[in-house]
């Protein structure tokens, strides 16, 4: 009997989720179609250069999802579902700390970590967990009601979890079990038709629309799915031309003359979806909620800690200058700041240790018997070694906070007189029951492996 390996399960899950979400939120399908068109145009215009940060087949299938759960137990369970798909928790994001748009969640991203697995299918899910214990958001009474409500619901049926554990242990599932697993897994993220208790939902909404979306209902659902596009500025124009209302900005680095780095994202506004509501007298009426949307992203080169520190500084600088000249477009200010402070070639990013690359010896390298120089950048300059950028596979907390907030009706409330509850990466590891991996360590490992290989091959040249 045939079996499905983990990566095929992951690819099939991403694909089915995408079809399901397309049925639920038709504007998402438009976004996927326009992304595909833009990608085809970029490929036609740029040829092989368009594939420098991932093959076109990878990019075309590439999606990230966002989901939100309520408790450590639910997080641990969803972690089991993702483990079945070869996806591991990477990175810790604290969205409670955002200055302008705090959201009562802490998050991680489940994703493949090995280079080959990423190349096969890089599906990732930004996963947020509500923080009822944070007194800046929830008073003791609301916290108690919320925790009781969450304790009484079941997001993932035992049959799904049992199949997930088997897939994780055996790294594959027989065809029939795979089918059942995929069906249950997709179902777990569908929007439930069950009526929403209106007064409970509204009570949470006063704190945060995200709190209501998570803790106001008895099931979870995919919040958005995000295709990857090779030219996000062009995509933004085309979506706007089609009359789809996008949020005001593209989050992340500006459009500029240098290489794409990290992540640029934008989205269309959350749409009103019909949802049945139960009113206090027990009757069910038809209502509408606005929480789900479509997002699109362009991915660039992964930055090192130093590169990231530079990025964060530049963000601060752009904020300052924007505050000083409110008449000027933020995107123009950002471009100027970047052109002043960020190296505008891959070579310089590498030479200054700001971005991650893999290195390989050039097949057509000069072999004149001279000893190789000590520095990698010198080897690259001499054409003995080639550098290829490592694509950024993770998220940006400020963009994430912006994405959360720009799609919510109200700002919500945070009481800054209170001390926040402590949640950090270690705490999250404990909650998921797996190590939350450090993204920098993963990129560095990949870079170092390639360097070790280069050293050994060039060693042979000299011999
Ligand atoms: C997650 C928001 C973060 C991203 O792409 O930065 C995110 C959410 O809205 O649940 O998806
Ligand atoms: Ni997203």
Give the Cβ contact number of residue 178 at 10 Å: 22
The beta strand positions in 310-406, using DSSP E, are: 357-361, 385-389
Q: Which of 111, 215, 395 to mutate to test the pocket of ligand 1 (most atoms within 8 A of CB)?
A: 395
Residue 407 alpha carbon to ligand 1 centre in Å: 10
**Greater model confidence, 410 or 44:** 44
Is the pLDDT reported for residue 100 higher than 70?
A: no
Retrieve residue 376's tokens.
């990698």
User: Ligand 1 centre and the CA of 209: distance in Å?
Assistant: 14
63 pocket-lining for ligand 1 (C-beta < 6 Å): no
CA of 369 to the centre of ligand 2 (A): 51
Share of the chain above pLDDT 90, in %: 78
**Total Cβ atoms within 10 A of residue 288:** 10
Q: In this structure, are residues 303 and 392 in contact, taking their beta carbons and an 8 Å threshold?
A: yes
Neighbouring residues of 439: CB distance < 8 A, sequence distance ≥ 6: 90, 91, 302, 393, 394
Which of the ligands is closest to the CA of residue 407? 1
363: phi then psi, degrees, rounded to nearest 5: -65, -35
Give the list of residues 6+ apart from residue 61 with CB closer than 8 angstroms, or none. 11, 14, 15, 121
Indicate if ligand 1 lies below 6 Å from the C-beta of 404: yes
Confidence of residue 113 (pLDDT cuts 50, 70, 90): very high
Phi, psi of 100 (to 5 degrees): -100, -20
CB distance 395 to ligand 1 below 6 Å: yes
Percent of the chain with pLDDT over 70: 96
User: Do 264 and 398 touch, CB atoms closer than 8 A?
Assistant: no
Is residue 126 in contact with ligand 1, taking CB distance under 6 Å? yes
The whole-number pLDDT of residue 12 equals 97
Q: Which helix (H) or strand (E) holds 459?
A: helix 439-462
Please provide the average confidence, as pLDDT, over all residues in the chain: 92
Q: How confident is the model at residue 346 (pLDDT cuts 50, 70, 90)?
A: very high
Domains and CATH numbers, the chain: 3-301+393-432 (3.10.180.80), 307-387+450-462 (no CATH)
- Residue 463, pLDDT > 60, answer no
Confidence of residue 115 (pLDDT cuts 50, 70, 90): very high
> What pLDDT shows up at residue 90?
98
Distance 252 CA to ligand 1 centre (A): 13
pLDDT at residue 462 in the model: 61
> What's the 419 CA to ligand 2 centre distance in angstroms?
29
- Which DSSP letter does residue 103 get? -
| Complex ipTM over 0.95 | yes
In the predicted structure, residue 217 carries a pLDDT above the cut 80: yes
Containing 53, the helix (H) or strand (E) segment is none
Would the CB of 222 count as within 6 Å of ligand 1? no
Q: Is the CB of 235 under 6 A from ligand 1?
A: no
Q: What are phi and psi for residue 285, nearest 5 degrees?
A: -120, 165
The CA–CA distances, whole Å, from 398 to 94, 128, 442 equal 10, 14, 22
Q: How confident is the model at residue 407 (pLDDT cuts 50, 70, 90)?
A: low
pTM of the model: 0.95
E strand or H helix that includes residue 110: strand 105-111
**Sequence-ordered alpha helix ranges (H) in 52-191:** 56-61, 72-84, 115-120, 140-151, 158-170, 175-188
pLDDT-derived band at 116 (thresholds 50, 70, 90) equals: very high
Q: How confident is the model at residue 403 (pLDDT cuts 50, 70, 90)?
A: confident
Q: Is 128 in the pocket of ligand 1 (CB under 6 A)?
A: yes
Cα(343) to centroid of ligand 1, in Å? 29
User: Which of 75, 221, 400 should be mutated for ligand 1, with most atoms under 8 A from CB?
Assistant: 400
SS3 of 15, please? Answer: helix
d(CA 206, CA 403): 19
- Mean pLDDT on 59-63: 93
Could you identify the atom of ligand 1 that is nearest to the CA of residue 128?
Answer: 10
Model pLDDT for residues 358-399, shown as the tens digit of each residue? 999 988 877 777 767 778 888 888 889 999 999 999 999 888
């Amino acid at each position: 009997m045939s079996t499905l390996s983990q990566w095929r399960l992951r690819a099939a899950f991403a694909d089915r989720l995408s079809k399901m979400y397309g049925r639920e939120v038709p504007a998402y399908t438009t976004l996927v179609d326009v992304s595909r068109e833009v990608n085809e145009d970029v490929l036609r215009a740029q040829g092989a250069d368009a594939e420098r940060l991932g093959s076109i087949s990878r990019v075309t299938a590439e999606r990230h999802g966002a989901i939100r759960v309520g408790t450590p137990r639910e997080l641990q369970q969803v972690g089991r579902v993702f483990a079945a798909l070869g996806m591991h928790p990477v990175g810790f994001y604290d969205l409670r700390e955002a200055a302008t748009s705090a959201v009562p969640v802490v998050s991680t991203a489940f994703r493949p970590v090995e280079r080959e697995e990423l190349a096969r299918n890089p599906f990732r899910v930004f996963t947020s967990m509500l923080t009822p214990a944070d007194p800046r958001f929830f008073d003791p009474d609301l916290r108690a009601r919320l925790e009781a409500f969450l304790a009484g619901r079941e997001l993932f049926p035992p049959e799904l979890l049992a199949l997930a554990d088997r897939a994780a242990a055996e790294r594959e599932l027989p065809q029939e079990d795979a089918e059942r697993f995929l069906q249950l897994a997709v179902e777990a993220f569908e929007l439930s038709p069950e009526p929403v208790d209106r007064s409970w939902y509204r009570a949470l909404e006063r704190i945060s629309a995200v709190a209501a979306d998570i803790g106001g209902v008895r099931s979870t659902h995919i919040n958005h799915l995000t295709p990857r596009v090779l030219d996000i500025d062009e995509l933004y124009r085309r979506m706007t031309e089609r009359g789809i209302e996008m949020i005001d900005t593209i989050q992340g680095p500006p459009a500029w003359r240098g290489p794409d780095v990290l992540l640029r994202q934008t989205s269309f506004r959350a749409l009103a979806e019909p949802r049945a509501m139960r009113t206090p007298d027990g009757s069910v009426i038809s209502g509408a909620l606005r929480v789900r949307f479509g997002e699109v992203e362009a991915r660039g080169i992964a930055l090192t800690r130093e590169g990231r520190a530079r990025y964060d500084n530049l963000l601060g600088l752009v904020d300052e200058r924007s505050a000083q000249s409110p008449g000027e477009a933020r995107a123009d200010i950002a471009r100027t700041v970047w052109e002043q402070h960020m190296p505008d070639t891959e070579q310089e990013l590498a030479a200054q240790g700001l971005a991650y690359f893999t290195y390989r010896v050039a097949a057509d390298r000069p072999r004149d018997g001279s000893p190789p120089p000590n520095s990698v950048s010198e080897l690259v300059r001499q054409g003995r070694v080639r550098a290829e950028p490592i694509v950024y596979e993770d998220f940006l907390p400020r963009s994430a906070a912006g994405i959360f907030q720009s799609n919510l009706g109200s700002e919500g409330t945070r009481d800054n007189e209170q001390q926040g509850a402590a949640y950090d990466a270690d705490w999250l590891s404990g909650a998921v029951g797996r190590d939350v991996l450090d993204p920098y360590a993963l990129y560095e490992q990949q870079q170092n492996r390639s360097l070790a290989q280069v050293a050994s091959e060039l060693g042979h040249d000299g011999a």
